[in-house]
Chains A and B, each alone.
Chain A
Amino acid sequence: DADVTQTPRNRITKTGKRIMLECSQTKGHDRMYWYRQDPGLGLRLIYYSFDVKDINKGEISDGYSVSRQAQAKFSLSLESAIPNQTALYFCATSHRGDTEAFFGQGTRLTVV
């Protein structure tokens, strides 16, 4: 089983719908992140959390919200999806002192 699991893996939704992307991890890491990947732009940080009570906006947080339900769970919500939120979304985790961040398998979201 993957250490960082994202659900769903693929999702097609309609404009204006609310959608939640979920991330869970078994690595025991305190830090979790949501990134978005668009062609030609690489990955950009949406939100990050250093512990359950800590939520921070990243580079492109507009239109998104997050919830850190537990140390192991970090959810990303699109309150009212729009077509330009069509992208590949990644959750990642890290631990203070480690040299590496670990990524989930990605969620491919299409907003029609």
Chain B
Amino acid sequence: AQKITQTQPGMFVQEKEAVTLDCTYDTSDPSYGLFWYKQPSSGEMIFLIYQGSYDQQNATEGRYSLNFQKARKSANLVISASQLGDSAMYFCAMREGVYDYKLSFGAGTTVTVRA
């Protein structure tokens, strides 16, 4: 069974607007962590944001926020005030367990920001 599902293969967003990238996950482990990574065209993986399963507050990092809905098993990434440099592939990932960093990744969502 797919552990991470990203249903949006590609999205277009206007510069300065917000965009939400969907991610649902599947695990029976009560301890898990959710990650979002950005992959620009150059190929490197850039860590954006992390949410632990026991975290009470939604994670935020600058223009990135993670909308964590535990009961629905969703961990959507919101990018506010989109910039041209946000054009990239975005991956949602999950680790299961407290110290295990074997990550399961979704298929990714390509975001294109239009001027």
Whether B44 contacts A99 by the Cβ 8 Å rule is no
Name which residue of chain B comes closest to A101, CB basis. Answer: B101
B45 within 8 A of A: yes
Stretch at the interface among A18-26, A61-69, A74-82, A88-96: A88-96
A96 contacts B99, C-beta separation under 8 Å? yes
Q: Is A94 a contact of B101 with CB atoms below 8 Å?
A: yes
Instruction: Of the listed stretches B11-19, B68-76, B104-112, name the one at the interface; the rest are far from the partner chain.
Output: B104-112
| Secondary structure type dominating chain A contacts | strand
Known: A41-B107, A100-B50. A105 touches B99 (CB 8 A): no
Chain A residue with Cβ nearest B106: A42
**Contact residues in B for A44 (Cβ distance below 8 Å):** 105
Number of interface residues of B (CB under 8 A): 23
Q: Tell whether, in the assembled complex, residue B107 and residue A99 are in contact, meaning their CB atoms are under 8 Å apart.
A: no
Cβ of B43 within 8 Å of any chain A Cβ, yes or no, is: yes
Query: For residue B104, which residue of chain A has the nearest CB?
Result: A45
Which of B6, B43, B103, B104 touches A101 (beta carbons < 8 Å)? B103
Q: Are B50 and A103 in contact (CB under 8 A)?
A: no
CB within 8 Å of B: which A3-38 residues: 31, 33, 35
Chain A proximity of B8: nearest CB distance (Å): 13
- Distance (Å) between the CB of B33 and the closest chain A CB? 7
Determine whether the beta carbon of B91 is less than 8 Å from that of A105.
no
Closest to B52 in A: A99
Interface residue? B113 (CB, 8 A): no
A interface residue numbers (CB < 8 A to B) = 31, 33, 35, 40-45, 48, 58, 88, 90, 92, 94, 96-97, 99-103, 105-106, 108
Going nearest first, the 7 A-B pairs with the smallest beta carbon separation are: A42-B105, A103-B45, A94-B101, A43-B105, A99-B50, A106-B43, A42-B107
Interface residues of B, Cβ cutoff 8 Å to A: 4, 6, 9, 33, 35, 37, 43-45, 47, 50, 52, 91, 93, 99, 101-108
Additional pairs, 12, CB under 8 Å, beyond known A33-B101, A33-B103, A105-B43: A31-B101, A42-B6, A43-B105, A45-B102, A45-B103, A96-B99, A99-B33, A99-B50, A100-B47, A101-B47, A103-B47, A106-B45
